[in-house]
Amino acid sequence: MNQDILININPQETRVALVLQGAVQELHIERTLSRGLAGNIYLGKVVRVLPGMQSAFIDIGLERAAFLHVADIWEARSHDGQSNALTPIEKLLHDGQSLMVQVIKDPIGTKGARLATQVSIAGRMLVYLPQDKHIGISQRIANEAEREQLRSKLQSLLPPEENGGFIVRTMAEDASDSDLQMDVDYLRKTWAAIVGNTKSKPAPNLLHQDLNLAQRVLRDFVGEDTATILIDSRENFEMLKEFAAVYTPSLLPKLTHYKGERPLFELHGVEAEIARALGRRVDLKSGGYLIVDQTEAMATIDVNTGSFVNGRNFDDTIFKTNLEAAHAIARQLRLRNLGGIIILDFIDMENREHKTAVLAELNKALQRDRTKISVSGFSPLGLVEMTRKRTRESLAHILCETCPSCNGKGQVKTSRTVCYEILREVMREAKQFNPKEFRILASQDVVDLFLEEESQHLAMLGDFIQKPISLQVQTAFLQEQYDIILM
């Protein structure tokens, strides 16, 4: 199935949409002021070693110190296969020490970046591991004969004195010797520049920055099934052509400059898809729907039949809805970039064969996802538990912020609830102080309620405390906000 890649670029941000048969499958957004850090290599300085947690905080020049666990320290592991024990972190690091590190996970929420000391530099067909010595093959290449053939081909291209290791990516399956050699030369040259920077730059300092989003698209996203790559910026189209000419010449025929007057994302329905991806409800073609909720701890997806009643019987209706939902869930995970623990609540099914079929359909739909995923079967409660590796912020976290009205609760107190809180607060203040008058400052809805339905209660309170109570609308106040002024 052919896929199109749409790249919308302006000075403040780059947006990329992967479209398959007219449906948006993935959205990637990179803002100029907050480029992702994953893949960047830094010369950091150890700020604090925590033996009790077997971890350390590293200053890499960001607002928050980054986090390094002993399991992510290359030197802590045994590489001879004799032992799985890790060397204690206090024997490897000390405060003030300079250390080359790579970001493996961007800062998310209040957490700093996650680091590792094993460096990996990604090319189009290979990943270079300067500290390693073996040649690995992507797990997505399942055929053992093909794996051995690729390993032998790469080994024949490497000089005898080569110390680093490589991982062969799926892109290399049909690569020529010259393509592989170009990738090897590029990666070794990049590593030499990084090593040179460590000798000339003080810690903390950036040694190597990963490619920008548009360049990573050409490196990571484009495959044989990619039909066209549309770019709506003339300047960036020319820059990507130059990059492709050096790095991925085979992609040049697929690069196209979009010259239409109508915005590229609007023409292909991407803007509308973004708006839908920020909502809780996802409608299915059959009439069923999903409810997607994202919390700090996990994401949950609930499946409902809605108005779908086309099955032969109720069990058949449930089964068909769940099958359709499996594909929709896989797409929503990629589209929204949901990560971490994910709980799927399919409609309850009594038939074991139906459960097996739905699970198989879900796993099949998830195969197109490049992110590492682990799916368990149905739990005793009928839930499917899964994890999806989280390496960057979700779409909602990039585009949205906490609602100032509800502070993330998703609901606000009613005007009547706020009225009763104010009445209790006035009573409490009257017992402690003796002002001439109480003035209530509140939102328009709360004041309106005091003037109408709750006017009797307000008058009764005034008579009880024997003080006048006046009202004043504060247009800047949200519904839950109020103030009581003692005059």
pLDDT tens for 131-165 read 888 888 888 787 888 888 888 888 888 887 776 78
pLDDT at 386: 94
Give yes or no for residue 330 having a pLDDT over 90: yes
Give yes or no for residue 53 having a pLDDT over 90: yes
Taken in order of first residue, the domains within the chain and their CATH numbers are 3-35+212-271 (3.30.420.60), 41-208 (2.40.50.140), 278-399 (3.40.630), 415-486 (3.40.1260.20)
Kind plus residue range of the DSSP H or E element containing 387 = strand 384-388
Other residues' Cβ atoms within 10 Å of the Cβ of residue 234: 11
pLDDT digit string, tens, across residues 101-139: 999 988 877 788 999 999 999 888 899 999 888 888 888
pLDDT at 392: 75
Contact 128, 166 (CB under 8 A): yes
Q: What is the DSSP string of 391-459?
A: -S--HHHHH----TTTTTSS----HHHHHHHHHHHHHHHHHH---S-EEEEE-HHHHHHHHTTTHHHHH
Contact 240, 230 (CB under 8 A): no
What are the beta bridge partners of residue 236?
Answer: none
pLDDT at 83: 60
Question: How many Å is the maximal CA-CA distance in the chain?
Answer: 97
Kind plus residue range of the DSSP H or E element containing 464 = helix 455-465
Global pTM reads 0.73
Give yes or no for residue 328 having a pLDDT over 60: yes
pLDDT at 1: 65
Q: What angle do CA 170, 176, 179 make, to 5 degrees?
A: 80
Higher pLDDT, 176 or 268: 268
Give yes or no for residue 171 having a pLDDT over 80: no
Query: Which residue's structure tokens are 């019987």?
Result: 313
- Helix locations, 219-291, DSSP H: 234-247, 264-267, 270-277
Give yes or no for residue 298 having a pLDDT over 70: yes
pLDDT digit string, tens, across residues 419-476: 999 999 999 999 999 999 999 999 999 999 999 999 999 999 999 999 999 999 999 9
Q: What is the DSSP string of 124-141?
A: SSEEEETT---EEE-TT-
What single-letter DSSP state applies at residue 77?
S
